[in-house]
Amino acid sequence: MQEAFLHFVWQHQAFNQKALLLHGGESLEVLQIGRHNHMAGPDFLESMLRISGLQWAGSIEIHLRSSDWHKHGHTGDPNYDNVVLHVVYEHDAEVFNPQGEPLPTLELKGLIKPMFKTRYEQIITQHTTIACGNQLINVKSIDKLSMLENALVERLMEKSFRFKELIDESGKDWEEATYQWLAQGFGFKSNAENMLKLVKAVPLRVLRKHQDPLAWEALLFGASGLLNVKPEDIYMARLQEEYAFLQKKYGINSSLSYNQWHFSGVRPPNFPTIRIAQLIAFVKAQSNLFNLFTDFSEVAAMKKGFEVVPSDYWLLHYRFGLPAKKTLKGMSRSAQHHLLINTVAPLLIAYSDYEKDGNTKEKAMSLLMSLPKEKNTIIREWMGLGWNINSAFDSQGLIQLYNRYCQPKRCIECKIGLALVKGS
């Protein structure tokens, strides 16, 4: 049994409430269950009870066993001084309030309505990766779609948290933070951290002092450390010479080295050299990055911004001095979609949260609905259970649902699991 199940039992009063007695024999009447607290502190706040005829107001803490009060470090914690009732499945240890008196304790063992406990155990004891998979057909579409959207928003908020950090670090410079966030996205999984370090070493304002693409490539490839080797060809030598001048001019200090970048195990189109060249082409083509992602009226128009082609050299090379067997193109469609899903959509959510702007949030949702669903083992598993997946809106929500709820078996905190336990 999980503690979250007892939260459900208390919140829905899914136990026999006739002639309730506390562990010490006092009568209990629940007047107000309280407000479920998902932050630090007691589990339910602003509750109202009547114990042996005397009315109490305060907080309620819930544990599987009474002894968990001590294990969780609540003894002596002033945040729990206002607890007026300890609700447990099994009472195995006495707990005392700050006045040294036994804390009123309600033991739920034997009181929980059997149908709820049985349904809960039927789900939680499944050994499949999606515990409710064989019961999904019994869940109303509205409950499934509501949980899907909740999971999607939760995923976007998690991703947007780092962008908010960049905003704060930049002193609320949205354009610079967008440049940094975008660069991190261009690094994809293998080189994201290095890409962020790179653009922090070469701020956007420095790049925009120059019109010549050669200067942009010299600055970013130079600061990346990828030029710190013997030149492979004439173009690389030109970049080294240009960077030597620009580094002194702007006082650029970068700790990146050639060996920090990941080439091994990475497909050539994802080589950091290619991604840096594509980033340069993208950023140089936009007069205002932040506005491109937030002020668009048509999703299609904003997406076109990713259809950029790097400089001539990078149409013929994957690495310095290593010619490609055929002329390269711009960013692949799948790479564009990856950036739109994992970079642009979270940026929009972060901005909507800052500005309390529902329209920007809707833009993020519309963007995801316009993109094709992702293809991976998680999505294939949901599809095998009959879930209709039409877009990145669906796939992103289902990835979050799988990772944050199905895997840790937080079934009772999921609207789908909750509906099955309630039988609704």
Domain boundary pick from 331, 351, 384 = 331
pLDDT tens digits, one per residue of 194-246: 999 999 999 999 999 999 999 999 999 999 999 998 988 999 999 999 999 99
Alpha-carbon span 18 to 21, nearest angstrom? 9
Which amino acid appears at position 280 of this protein?
I
Instruction: Show the tokens assigned to 409.
Output: 């078996």
Give me the residues paired with residue 290 across strands.
none
pLDDT computed for residue 240 by the predictor = 96
Average the pLDDT over each of 114-118, 260-264, 396-400 and give the range with the smallest value: 114-118
Q: Indicate whether 336 belongs to any domain.
A: no
Q: Indicate whether 81 belongs to any domain.
A: yes
* 8 A C-beta contact, residue 252 and residue 215: no
pLDDT computed for residue 145 by the predictor = 95
Domain boundary pick from 298, 331, 364 = 331
Give yes or no: residues 320 and 178 share one domain. Answer: yes
Give yes or no: residues 247 and 311 share one domain. Answer: yes
Give yes or no: residues 194 and 304 share one domain. Answer: yes
Q: Indicate whether 363 belongs to any domain.
A: no
Q: What is the mean pLDDT of the chain?
A: 92
Give yes or no: residues 95 and 143 share one domain. Answer: no
* 8 A C-beta contact, residue 393 and residue 387: no
Give yes or no: residues 105 and 49 share one domain. Answer: yes
Q: Indicate whether 128 belongs to any domain.
A: no
- Give me the domain span that covers residue 224: 170-331
Alpha-carbon span 6 to 220, nearest angstrom? 55
Q: Is the dihedral of CA 389, 411, 112, 32 positive or negative?
A: negative
Give yes or no: residues 267 and 414 share one domain. Answer: no
Give me the DSSP letters along 301-351: HHHGGG-----GGGGTEEETTEE-SS---S--HHHHHHHIIIIIHHHHHHH
Span 12-28, mean pLDDT?
88
Pairing of strands 317-319, 105-107: unpaired
Residue 28: exposed, middle, or buried by beta-carbon count in 10 A (0-12, 13-18, 19+)?
Answer: middle
Instruction: Give the CA count within 13 Å in the CB-facing half-sphere of 229.
Output: 13
Q: Indicate whether 402 belongs to any domain.
A: yes
Alpha-carbon span 314 to 13, nearest angstrom? 65
Give me the DSSP letters along 19-75: T-B-TTS-BEEEEE--EEP-SSS-SEEEEEEEETTEEEEEEEEEEEETTHHHHTT-T
- Residue reference for tokens 């991703």: 159
pLDDT tens digits, one per residue of 346-370: 999 999 988 887 889 999 999 999 9
Which amino acid appears at position 381 of this protein?
E
Query: For 374, which DSSP code?
Result: P
Alpha-carbon span 275 to 107, nearest angstrom? 60
Structurally, how many domains does the chain consist of?
3
Span 17-46, mean pLDDT?
90
Give yes or no: residues 106 and 32 share one domain. Answer: yes
Query: For 214, which DSSP code?
Result: H
Instruction: Show the tokens assigned to 391.
Output: 């877009």
> Max alpha carbon distance in the chain (Å)?
91
Q: Indicate whether 399 belongs to any domain.
A: yes
pLDDT class of 116 with cuts at 50, 70, 90: confident
Give yes or no: residues 322 and 378 share one domain. Answer: no
Q: Is the dihedral of CA 223, 226, 230, 236 positive or negative?
A: negative
Alpha-carbon span 43 to 37, nearest angstrom? 5
Task: Compute CA distances 306 → 108, 119, 208, 339, 386, whole Å.
Answer: 58, 49, 19, 9, 34
Give yes or no: residues 325 and 379 share one domain. Answer: no
Q: Indicate whether 180 belongs to any domain.
A: yes
Q: Indicate whether 289 belongs to any domain.
A: yes
Give yes or no: residues 201 and 95 share one domain. Answer: no
Span 321-325, mean pLDDT?
86
Phi/psi for 304 (5° steps) reads: -65, -25
* 8 A C-beta contact, residue 84 and residue 47: yes
Q: Which long-range contacts (CB under 8 A, 24 or more apart) does 14-20 make?
A: 14/112, 14/113, 14/116, 15/108, 15/111, 15/112, 15/113, 16/111, 16/113, 20/106
Give me the residues paired with residue 30 across strands.
49
Give yes or no: residues 226 and 289 share one domain. Answer: yes
How much of the chain, in percent, has pLDDT values that exceed 90?
Answer: 71
Give yes or no: residues 49 and 191 share one domain. Answer: no
